Structure 1
Amino acid sequence: MKKIIFASITAFAVIISGCATKNTSVSSSSSVDSSKGSGGSDRFENLESLNSIANVYFDFDKFDVRKDMQKVIANNAEILKKEATNATIVVEGNCDEWGTDEYNQALGLKRAKAVKESLIAQGVSADKISIKSYGETNPVCTERTKNCDAQNRRAEFKLLK
């Protein structure tokens, strides 16, 4: 009888724990707030400039910053140096749906790291930048088209107080 009760309790625990949500984000800094919203306006001098921070896009299966994205990073760096002096910058790497979850997590992290290194080269303090990967779990477009996939292969910028 004890074996049946123990087996029932064990099976119940397995069923309950199997319902947990899988967290697939990877962060290079455990102190970074994982909220998706940007920081409040009380510390930022010019919110219009901050709204013009652009995403950086990548080619399929690549993490090197494209030549056409170098100007985007330079512009973002200037804005971040002038207007977000008190903020922490989180660069979030994203991927399209092609590839395994593990591969896309790693690729997203490499994309975020490449953007971070480019920002540092433009004079943004390395201490202010953290990186995070969402892999394929944060799509902005879900259609099955090449254009949609291209929109998902990106690095986004979040500012935290």
Structure 2
Amino acid sequence: MQVSINVNGEQRSHEVEDRTLLVQYLREDCGLTGTNIGCDTTSCGACTVLLDGESVKSCTVLAAQADGHDVTTIEGLADGEELHPMQRAFQQKHGLQCGFCTPGMVMASVSLVEENPNPTEADVRSGLEGNLCRCTGYHNIVEAVLTAAKEKSGAAE
């Protein structure tokens, strides 16, 4: 089937099999490998992207379901060389260790802060519970999300 998806602000059209997952489409057809494949069972969140601004685990969404929609991947967050505030906060607060979960964590965190601009530590921990860090780096991840939320709201840390 033919799908046409706005990926990171660029209209992409490809012929795909009906059963093609969004994560496969992004990695294989669009060449956007920042979206990681972790578990293929929606357990880890490494494949999290934004679909029309909402975080979704792209291993559970068919490319056909995203047809006609907007998808943002980790590659689409930055504005040229200028990192997105969430990316910058993850860098500044060392919110990564091996880095495998980082793209999904960042994307889920962007959605979380959009939904709750002033989250508490408990809100962040609850909001990211579907994204796993196998290196157990949650403390710095939570600090990064809180820092980005403060920056977005204009509050100084």
- Which structure has the larger Rg? 1
- Where relative contact order (Cα < 8 A, 6+ residues apart) is larger, the structure is 1
TM-score band, normalised by shorter chain: under 0.3
Which has the larger share of helix? 1
Normalising by structure 2, report the TM-score.
0.25
Normalising by structure 1, report the TM-score.
0.25
